[in-house]
Amino acid sequence: MRNLFLSIIAVVLLCLVFSAESFAQKVKPEEIIAKNLESIGTAQKRSEVKNYFGVGISQFSSKLPSKKALGKIVLVSDAANFFYLSSFNSKEYPFEKIGFFKDDVNLPYVIAGARSPLGAFIADHKRILSDGLFGGAMSLRWTAKKGKYVYDGQKKIDGKKVNVLEYFPDSGSQEFSVKLFFDAETSRHVRTEYRHTIAEKEKQFGTYGQQSGLSIEMIEDFADFKTVDGITLPYSSKVKYLTESTSGTYEYEWLVNLTQYYYNQKLDPNFFTFESKQ
């Protein structure tokens, strides 16, 4: 009797494994991406929007040392360009500038010869910008991704089911991984996780204790979705950056809360630059 019971359990578990594998095979990344774009707006509505111009407030905070800085943010994008400018009330961290202009990544130093952890991470993984990943649906370049996707099953974020896609750039390091998370019910893109493990001897980053980093994780979370003029976008984001090294653990956060998006603004032909406009 006991052997029969164990056999039944084994068969049930085997069926569950095959069922999960079968489900994973049926889920196509292209379908998840297509549904995500539909969650932003219909194809017709999306085609009518030529640029986003978002304005709002921003906040930077760090632990060990404990710091906090408040500021304002301007987030502008079209199909080819991405402009992120956040100012802070801090002398040692006065601003964050992240740009992708004319097929080129632009990351100005925040102080002489040094970048923030965020800027340094992106500088080391420029595909984050060139492939349209950073900023998620807050950027019109969100549709510009070029790599390969693999379905990675379902998980839960804050109790809600999400579909997970692992993203593989056309070229890149095997030590670097990217995962995208989409709400299983609404198909909205709610998170991107970037992970990189580097050798202790490498010294690739600029400031804030990164140089002896052994593992780095950066997570973008998107929330507060609102629909305006037929377009549904996240109005808030949180970038959490965590690095663990032989010198300790460092954690930073960048919060963005947009008060409004403006669509189809008449931008100067030379708008997309961090150079002084005169």
Q: How many CB atoms lie within 10 A of CB 118?
A: 22
Q: Which of 230, 277, 250, 223 is nearest to 83 (CA)?
A: 277
Tokens of 14: 């085997």
Is the pLDDT at 239 greater than 80? The verdict is yes
Measured between alpha carbons, how far is 19 from 26 in angstroms, rounded to an integer?
A: 11
Taking only the tens place, the pLDDT of each residue in 92-108 is: 999 999 999 989 999 99
Proportion of the chain above pLDDT 90, given as a percent: 71
Taking only the tens place, the pLDDT of each residue in 1-30 is: 555 544 555 444 554 444 444 444 578 999
How far lies 158's CA from each of 58, 153, 166, 183, 221, in Å? 23, 17, 20, 11, 12
Is the pLDDT at 178 greater than 60? The verdict is yes
Is the pLDDT at 254 greater than 70? The verdict is yes
Measured between alpha carbons, how far is 84 from 95 in angstroms, rounded to an integer?
A: 10
CATH code for 2-263? Answer: 2.50.20
Q: What confidence score (pLDDT) does residue 7 get?
A: 52
Taking only the tens place, the pLDDT of each residue in 203-231 is: 444 444 444 447 899 999 999 999 999 99
Q: What confidence score (pLDDT) does residue 210 get?
A: 44
Is the pLDDT at 112 greater than 70? The verdict is yes
Please state the rounded mean pLDDT for residues 253-278.
92
Helices then strands, counting H and E runs in the chain, come out as: 5, 12
Taking only the tens place, the pLDDT of each residue in 118-141 is: 999 999 999 999 999 999 999 999
